[in-house]
Amino acid sequence: MRQKKFLLPESEIPTHYFNIQAIMPNKPLPFLHPGTRQPLKPEDLYPIFCKECADQELNQTDVWIPIPEEVREQYASYRCTPLVRAYELEAALGTPAHIYFKNESVSPAGSHKLNSALAQAYYAKKQGITNITTETGAGQWGGALSYAAKKFGLDCAVYMVKVSYNQKPYRRSIMQTFGAAITPSPSMSTRAGKDILTVNPNDQGSLGCAISEAIELAVTTPNCKYTLGSVLNHVCLHQSIIGLEAEKQMELAGEYPDIVIACFGGGSNFSGIAYPFMRHNILEGKKTRFIAAEPYSCPKLTRGKFEYDFGDESGLTPLLPMYTLGHKFKPATIHAGGLRYHGAGVIMSQLMKDGFMEAVDIEQLDSFKAGVLFAQTEGIIPAPESCHAIAATIGEALKCKETGEAKTILFNLSGHGFVDMSAYDQYFSGEMVNYHVSDETLAEYIKSADALNQ
């Protein structure tokens, strides 16, 4: 019988995270203080993030960073995750390509996000922190953080955008099941929330406001820190565990990827699957291609601009050097909520600028078409975000069919779609649409970032 799954025992869970910053030919430009324009130091981040994460964020020297034993023990409940050869998808496409996927949907939270949530919760606990907080839009990061906080005995407060709180009751229930306190945002519990509600008591909230509320709670509460589930360097660092395992598993399969693909929101699952392989491109001249799959309606890598911009809509963060659509950009309400972000993390942006990776944009309807084919062939219903990676993979596999090349393609299945079945419902009903964004609209929003670069 041909081998379909390539598994590693728990003892093979990596002992170190891989820090690509240390080997990049051009390091990311510094984060800048928006007022003084001075480069940020780790200490500047201590009031908001726990110390270990702040240090990791700006660490450009250590290639390997040890994974604490307590975190490895938690990883053992779902890692190493399977690497699977998608034989039936290959057959349905009639492609000579060999398609593999790394299945991150098997985590208790249903996505890769738990890989970083566990690390962040552990580092906070070790520092004597008792409470962690965050915001959540679609609810995936909130769900992962709630579980991680429970594992390390921390109280977790999640600000959930009010419209999602009401429209996505199951994600809210998941967070509650894992023991977190969920507050619909805007709320009366913070200055930021009160200011909005006194003007408009029916305000339905925004991610920008939820971020403000969570950061305000963190800086005004003793022993409370803020956490983020994507974009930042320390988050991408934790996700490297995905690619480090995949590297060993591809060896078991007797292959090495010609192409590595992942969907792209802020870039954390892409980093995770890509960087361990990319290090061989950087250090040994290997020629693997790395493709980020982003939504057509939120095209920061394919149509954005590389410049300094705020990481959030309200302009509370430091200035980050990144591919951006402008921090005021309002992505269309596609179902892949995790991909609705205006910028790309600073490491990914520098690597993109330097030609180490490429990007492709995927229409919403094409993403679901690909997701349905994947579900029918491989038996896993993918998250709407992951459907973008699948669509990009199918695109490359069909090119192989034309040329007759048997390329090896590896993609990351970032999560399952069991809590997103209403999106599939909409797809089947024929009501789902594609969203386009014109060059004029993009140019207008990018101006909001240009203004910060003068």
Ligand X SMILES: *Cc1c(COP(=O)(O)O)cnc(C)c1O
Question: Where are any strands of DSSP class E within 227-281?
Answer: 259-263
Nearer to ligand X, 161 or 224 (CB): 161
Nearer to ligand X, 267 or 311 (CB): 267
Residue matched to tokens 């894992």: 178
Q: Which two tokens stand for residue 367?
A: 């993403």
What is the footprint of ligand X within residues 322-361 (CB under 6 A)? 338-339
What is the footprint of ligand X within residues 120-159 (CB under 6 A)? 140
With binding defined as CB under 6 A, does residue 291 bind ligand X?
A: no
With binding defined as CB under 6 A, does residue 8 bind ligand X?
A: no
Q: Among the residues of 178-263, which ranges form H helices?
A: 191-199, 207-220, 233-253
Residue 202's contacts (CB-CB under 8 Å, 6 or more residues apart) are none
With binding defined as CB under 6 A, does residue 420 bind ligand X?
A: no
With binding defined as CB under 6 A, does residue 81 bind ligand X?
A: no
Asked if 158 and 142 count as a contact pair (C-beta separation under 8 A), the reply is yes
Q: Which of 117, 192, 263, 352 binds ligand X (CB under 6 A)?
A: 263
- How many residues sit in the footprint of ligand X (CB under 6 A)? 19
With binding defined as CB under 6 A, does residue 243 bind ligand X?
A: no
With binding defined as CB under 6 A, does residue 408 bind ligand X?
A: no
Q: Minimal distance in Å, beta carbon 405 to ligand X?
A: 29
What secondary structure does DSSP assign to 33-82, as a single string? -TTT-PBP-HHHHTTTS-HHHHHHHT--S-SEEEPPHHHHHHHTTT-SPP
Asked if 269 and 382 count as a contact pair (C-beta separation under 8 A), the reply is no
With binding defined as CB under 6 A, does residue 415 bind ligand X?
A: yes
Nearer to ligand X, 264 or 445 (CB): 264
Which residue's CB comes closest to ligand X? 415
Residue length, the chain? 454
Burial class for 383, CB neighbours closer than 10 Å (0-12, 13-18, 19+): buried
Q: Going residue by residue from 34 to 73, which x/- string records binding to ligand X, judged by CB under 6 A? A: ----------------------------------------
Residue 80, preceding bond cis, omega within 30 degrees?
Answer: yes
What is the footprint of ligand X within residues 197-236 (CB under 6 A)? 230
Binding site for ligand X (CB under 6 A): 111, 113, 140, 230, 263-270, 338-339, 383, 385-386, 414-415
